[in-house]
Amino acid sequence: MTTPTFALKQYAKQLGFDYVGISKAEYLHEQAPRLEAWLKAQMHGEMQYMENHFDMRLDPRILVPGAKSVISLLYNYYPENKQINDTYKISKYAYGNDYHTVIKNKLYAVLDYLQSTVSKDIVARVFVDSAPVMEKAWAVKSGLGWQGKNANVINPKSGSFYFIAEIICDVTFEYDGAIKDYCGTCTRCIDACPTQAIVAPQVVDGSKCISYFTIELKNEMPSHVKNTFNDWVFGCDICQDVCPWNKFSKPHAEPLFNTNTAKLNLTKNDWQELTHDLFNELFKNSALKRAKYTGLQRNIAFIQTEK
């Protein structure tokens, strides 16, 4: 029996998810050659984990045996208040509590709802940027937006400042379809990228991205990217900030993604004098801890040598 899809979507929205779309769990034929070419071109840099589980990334039925559906969900993180000007910048998604924990708890609530309304024997797994799932491909396939030239999923009503999450399960739903790509001839994201990481429409060379350098790269910064970071020390929002579709972004309503003014008002001098203890206090529940105190200090020191 087909499960009432509308009721599921309404329940997810009650939990704070802004958009929900559902696709049939099947092999991603279009993405296979693209992923293979991206890996062969070494665009993943030091992210060796991207080479693992190639087939699993493309087929959710390997991740969840018997899977019939991929439920894709978007959760807004666009902040009402932003950092002061002339400071070291962190990506907006890291302002509040770590999204992995916040959203995964909500996904488990959705799963509980399915188990109580459909069957307690549902086979399912939840994912938030933590497993070999091609989340952007599934979001596009489920009609939550199109993939912009900066490779982010753009929703026509709300832009791209969203976390993407999935529930893969063995339940059949009414499936959604993809929507039109509305980027047109716009190239603002490509033109604005200071490291020229967007090498073609929808193709980002991860090894050139400021987010990669400030978070993923564990070795020393290469000298050829000096004077390109524009004061970003954790992540980068440039390609999203310049996107015309993000004029529709509205502040999120998630209290756990709020941040205190002390974080937003840190000056460059404050960042430079940040102690390990204060870092742990200010960012104890933040995704910023992924870079660790030593990584953050490395990034700041690198930018200081640019001038």
Any residues with CB less than 8 A from the CB of 124 and at least 6 apart, and which? 64, 111, 114, 167, 168, 169, 170, 171
Q: What kind and span of H or E run contains 6?
A: helix 5-14
- Name the DSSP class of 83: P
In angstroms, the CA 103 to CA 84 distance is 27
In angstroms, the CA 117 to CA 78 distance is 32
| 259 CB-contact burial (10 Å; exposed 0-12 / middle 13-18 / buried 19+) | buried
- Among 18, 86, 98, 129, the active-site one is 129
Q: What kind and span of H or E run contains 176?
A: none
**129 catalytic per annotation:** yes
Catalytic residue ranges: 129
